Every structure is written in structure tokens, then in C-alpha cells.
Amino acid sequence: MSTRRNARAGVEDRWHRPARKNELVHYPADAGPGDAIWCMDPKHGQVGSLVCTGRHGHGQRWQARWVAEGQERSKSFAKKADADRHLRCVVADVETGTYADPLRTAVTFGTVAESWLRTKAASNRAPKTIAGYRGLLDVVILPKWQDERLRDITHERLQNWISWLATDPAARKHKKKDNEAVGLSPARVIQTHQVLSQVLSYARRAKYVATNAADDIELPSKPQSKDLALTHDQVHRLAEETAEAELAVRHRADTAPVKISPAALGTMVRFLAYTGLRFGECVALRVGDVDVAKRRVLVEKSITQVRGQGRLEGGTKTHQRRSVPILTTALANELKNVTRDRNAAEFLFPGPDGEAMSVGWFRVRFDRATAALGLTGVTPNTLRHTAGSLAISEVGSVVVASKLLGHRNVSTTVNVYSHMLDGDWEKLSAAMDSAAIKVATAGQSPERF
Ligand SMILES: [Zn+2]
């Protein structure tokens, strides 16, 4: 197989051929139409030794030809040395498996991106995730890269573009209200890079390109969110303020009877902060999912809003079903009130119309409350972060926090809360100390393990 491939690879002179046996070749001055003639250009070789082909003087003279993936390929060069070098490279690439077919690398980014997105949509990704990819492609990535050939997308160009996104105000579609001269947020830039990298990685697996040009791109760093966990006291006041905000907003605008009471909205804030549920998981809960007697909540669904598709109900982010404890007696009592005499199929914390609550509706109240308390940078996700932080600081166990938050891997929890784990060594050291002292005072050697 490889002998055949090598046999068909080589560098060819497109302008000349050797004379055939007994062939009559004329000097140009003597030749009639259709006669074979000698090349008279001393720059091409020894005069009178090369027969001109029909292509003499047209296009590039030297053609490298090779076979890869069963297809014959060629590329022409002005200099023989360049053609030879190119051929050596592609043959080496074919043999080491890093060969990328030039016809395939001529495929555009846009084509591959669509194909990548179709595989994602077919692989049971959450609708919100797919919509997120679609949005990043349409708004940020495709306007720049759609018609670019894969082979022209270099690491350097990607790096320059990513740096531009992060720093140049022109990269923003909407101007910032405070006129701050910055590019996209670090989080948005990081997401953009992730999508780019996934598309190019798909292109590599599909053998459109040999390497992923988005590997090892320098990214802006995300601001640390470690200070954004609330204290018990802050949670309490935020819950009260959110209930207050609901009253204030409602007096102004809403006239129809509302299916959720201000008190229930306050309960929802406390519930989010102590269970650590994702917002989408919380609004998907039904009354029947709460077992006040056993103090457990069953989390198996999530509702997300997808632009253009309305609210979609699906599995949780990690497709897990989990039973979450109602940790405090006060919260258990509040939930008893919220669920009393209600149908098991109703939403636990419904929106004003009894349907799933939208994050926008919640944010109007919640944001008023955080503003009233002077809390900056606090979002519904801060409540989830608070639950994780409290679990770690009070129980000192990452595993417990991980279970509570429904992380698929404990490593995720460790990454998010690593700054809180330093104290663990002190606890461990104290425990080891006291164990060692116990052994020493008992006057016996420790058991081997
Ligand atoms: Zn010639």
C-alpha cells in the first residue's frame, strides 16, 4: 500500500519532458505547427535537452504530486526546491498522521460550525446549552470567521482576535451604559473561546485540519467570585427585602391577582440560599416534590428560558436526580406554609400567572432588594454559592457541598471553593495532634495501617 503511494508521489516538470526514443524534435525557428520543439531558455536547463510541453511558460513549473486518503493531490511551485520540500512534508505528515488534506482545509469555518452544532443538538444537550452556542456563533464568532477557510485560521490570528474581544469597546454589540471603555466580559470571551475551540477540535477529529489552532490561547481571567457568598444575616435581610420589593412593584403595575405571595417570594430566597438549587431547578419544582415531614426536596427537572423558544423544561444541568435536604427547621416551617392545601402538580414557586416563574420577573424584585441593601454583584447564583460556602464552612466537607449542589464531580466543587479549604489542614492537624497525644499517653505503639 505504502509502496504504491510512494510510487505515485513525486515532483514533475510541467513545462518540459524528455525526448522520446527516435523522436524528431525541432529548434523553434525550424518548427511547423504541432511539431515538438526544444526549450531554448538557458534558465530552464541545458539548451536542446528539454522538450517543451503545451504548458511551457504557463503557470508554475514544478508540480508536487502525492496520494493521501486514497485521493491524488497536487500543488505547483515556481522553484523545484520548494516543490521537493512540500512533498517531503506531506509525505511525512501522511506517515505521522498529522496530514490535513488541502481540499478539506479549504472548507470554511461556517460550514464546520454548523455541522458541529448539529452533532451537539443530536447528543441530548440541554436546549439552553444549544441556544447558548447558537447565540455565541451568530453574534460573536460567525460574523468574523464564517467565510474563512480552516487553513487560514491560524493560532496567531485567533489570539489577536480574542485579545481584541477582551479589550476593545468596538467588540461590544451594545455600548455599556456607564460608557466604560472595555470589550466583552471575561466570562463572555472565555465562552467564545470554548465554542471556537470545540468547533476546531471537531474539525480536527473530522480530519479537516491537523491541529486545533485554538489550543493554548491566552484568555482574560475571570474576576474571583469568592467574596460573593452571603452571611446568614444577609440572606435573612435579602429575603425580607425581596418580599417588600414584590409589594412595591405590584402596587405600581400589576392588577391581576398574583399566584405567589410576597411571603412565598421571601421563602424562595431563603430556600435558594440554603438548598443551593440552580434557579432553573427551583422554578421547576412542584408542590409534590417537597416532603416537609422528611425534610427533603426532590430535584429532577429544570426550566430554562431560551430566546425564541419560550420556557423549556428538561433534566437538570448534569442530568442527575437528587434529593436535597431542607436544612433548617425555620425553612421547613416556611415550606409547610407555602405548600399547605395546594395541588401537588402546581409549581412550588409559580410566576404571577401560575406558570413557571421567569428569571426576569424574579430579577425585578431581587435586584430592587439587593440595591436597597447596598449589595453589589449579587445575583440569584450568589444564593447557590452561599449554600455551598455555608456547607463547607459549617460542615467542612467538600463532598457534602458537592452532593448538595448537584455537581457531577467533586473536583468542580473543589475548584469553586478551593479558597475555603485551607482551613481544613488546620482541622486535620489538630485531629492528628490529639490522636497522637492519646496514643502517647496510653503508652502503646500505634496500630499499623
Ligand atoms: Zn523551457
Could you report the per-residue pLDDT of 221-244, keeping only the tens digit for each?
766 555 578 888 899 999 999 999
Least confident of 127-136, 338-347, 384-393, 438-447: 438-447
- For residue 176, pLDDT beyond 60: no
**pLDDT classification of 70: cutoffs 50, 70, 90:** confident
The pLDDT of residue 270:
94
Distance from C-alpha of 181 to C-alpha of 167, rounded to nearest angstrom: 8
- Please report which confidence band the pLDDT of residue 9 belongs to, taking 50, 70 and 90 as the band edges: confident
User: How confident is residue 426, by pLDDT bands cut at 50, 70 and 90?
Assistant: low
pLDDT at 365: 93
Residue 436 phi, psi dihedral angles, 5° rounding: -65, -40
Nearest residue to 35 via CA among 17, 48, 51: 51
Polymer length in residues for the chain: 449
Of 100, 90, 77, 85, the closest CA to residue 12 belongs to 77
* Cell matching residue 261: 405571595
Within 8 A by CB and 6+ apart from 211, the residues are 98, 204
Dist. CA 84 → ligand 1 center (Å): 19
Question: How many angstroms separate the alpha carbon of residue 5 from the centre of ligand 1?
Answer: 29
Q: Using CA atoms, how far apart are residues 357 and 365, in angstroms rounded to an integer?
A: 12
Residue 441 predicted with pLDDT over 70: no
> What CA–CA distances, in Å, run from 316 to 70, 211, 363?
46, 34, 21
Q: What distance in angstroms lies between residue 77's CA and the mean position of ligand 1's atoms?
A: 15
* C-alpha 16 to ligand 1 mean position (Å): 6
Compute, in angstroms, the gap from residue 42 CA to the centroid of ligand 1: 8
CA 262, CA 338: separation in Å to the nearest integer?
Answer: 11
Q: What is the spatial distance between Cα 401 and Cα 410, in angstroms, rounded to a whole number?
A: 9
- The per-residue pLDDT of the chain, averaged, comes to 83
Tell me the pLDDT band of 173, cut-offs 50, 70 and 90. Answer: low
CA-CA-CA-CA torsion sign (25, 27, 28, 32): negative
Could you tell me if 305 and 357 are in contact, meaning their C-beta atoms sit under 8 angstroms apart? no
Q: Which residue has the higher pLDDT, 247 or 440?
A: 247
Distance 59 CA to ligand 1 centre (A): 12
Q: How confident is the model at residue 142 (pLDDT cuts 50, 70, 90)?
A: very high
Cα gap 442→158, rounded to integer Å: 66
Whole-number Å distance, alpha carbon 83 to ligand 1 midpoint, is 17
Comparing 54 with 318, the larger pLDDT belongs to 54
Res 437: pLDDT? 67
Domains of the chain: 2-99 (no CATH), 109-205 (1.10.150), 232-420 (1.10.443.10)
Apex CA 376: angle with CA 372 and CA 382, to 5°? 105
Across 432-447, average pLDDT: 58
CA of 52 relative to ligand 1 center, distance in Å: 6
What integer pLDDT is reported at residue 3 of this predicted model?
39
Ligand 1 centroid to Cα of residue 81, in Å, is 17
Cell of 208: 479537516
